[in-house]
Structure 1
């Protein structure tokens, strides 16, 4: 068994921490086998795909690794609670994306919220990218910034047109990419949920609903009290 390997990156002008963990779980093949036998259904919120339940032992087994990340690396301390966690597969064709799915987003506005993505496609597939909103300079969106950011974004849509029907993976007229993390099998990515980001889904991505073929990940959202 290979021990997890951690690296910390400070992203953009705001220097927010993004942690990359290779060899995240001891037996990714067993976890992937569970996903292949799972029943997936439509995702809630704005996730462009489908989700399935995780085995109950998954997150408790990773708490030791996450404790190393949340404390010294992300500067968070306190009780870790799971807000939401599931197997996830991106399946929505670009032409069916709604407007908000065509631009970078954040998952929550609070500084206590942490996002986790665990890549489980053996061939790697598409990773995750982080962004700066050009007109405001924002790289994170908290409660104070949210009305400014969304108001400005709505104005840009009204006067400049909505973004084209595609996933955002690189620079656009409205957003500048600040960092991209490549997907690798059994790699996890941990970052503050209020960072602007997007799945870096390329134009040739396989958007299959079959977990054996598609962009299989674990996505989890944690609250640190």
Structure 2
């Protein structure tokens, strides 16, 4: 039985939905991933991705819709924008500049992100951030130009972040929340939250679905 909790992020109080025991058979998902064809990800994701079983989202969508109604007050039609198995596997020294920073996945209120952790040992979770210069914890369409203008100025005058994943506070960003991974835990949050995978320095980052940081990542639009 899935346990749902609604928590909040930072001073803006954005909802964070925690769904423990999310999928009815996570071991079967791991078996499917073990036989899947992974390829380098697009859109700045620092690792590899593979297709999900067709039944995954159709099975989980009613629960996602229930959580979205409770946490985000979104009760309309739910559309899957993108969904896949994902494994963070890029070595810290090879990260691009955008991969060294917190990011948002979309700028509108209807867009929701899901991350479903499928490593039995738990491993690295997800962290959320506040941009120090603006105080923004979220970046919507109205804030977008201001945020990127400040960030560009900061990096032109102060230098780009050194190679590495976001582990905590930096000169540009303050970590305001970190949620640890747990086997078969899923998180739901608005895509406009500044966030990053909380990837520890000790993680060897194998691209292997059996040994690596196996997750499902999905992006949804809810009217």
- Name the TM tier (shorter chain): over 0.9
For residues 128-207 of structure 1, what are the structure 2 equivalents within 5 Å? 128-207=126-205
**Conserved in 2, the CA contact under 8 Å of 1:206 and 1:215?**
no
Q: Which runs of 5+ in 1 are unaligned?
A: none
Aligned pair count? 223
- CA deviation after TM superposition for structure 1 residue 143, in Å: 1.1
Match for residue 50 of structure 2? 52
Q: Counterparts of 1:104 and 1:73 in 2: how far apart (Å)?
A: 23
Q: Counterparts of 1:63 and 1:210 in 2: how far apart (Å)?
A: 27
Partner of 1:164: helix, strand, or coil?
coil
Match for residue 215 of structure 1? 213
Which deviates more from structure 2 when the two are superposed, residues 56-65 or residues 82-91?
Answer: 56-65
Cα deviation per residue 1:180-220 (whole Å; 9 max; x = unaligned)? 00001000000000000000001011310111111000000
Runs ≥4 in structure 1, deviation > 3 angstroms? Answer: none
Give the TM-score taking structure 2 as reference length.
Answer: 0.99
For residues 100-111 of structure 1, what are the structure 2 equivalents within 5 Å? 100-111=98-109
Q: Counterparts of 2:36 and 2:130 in 1: how far apart (Å)?
A: 36
Q: Which runs of 5+ in 2 are unaligned?
A: none
Counterpart pick for 1:65 among 45, 55, 63:
63
Partner of 2:211: helix, strand, or coil?
coil
- CA deviation after TM superposition for structure 1 residue 10, in Å: 1.2
Counterpart pick for 1:83 among 81, 84, 91:
81
Q: Counterparts of 1:20 and 1:179 in 2: how far apart (Å)?
A: 13
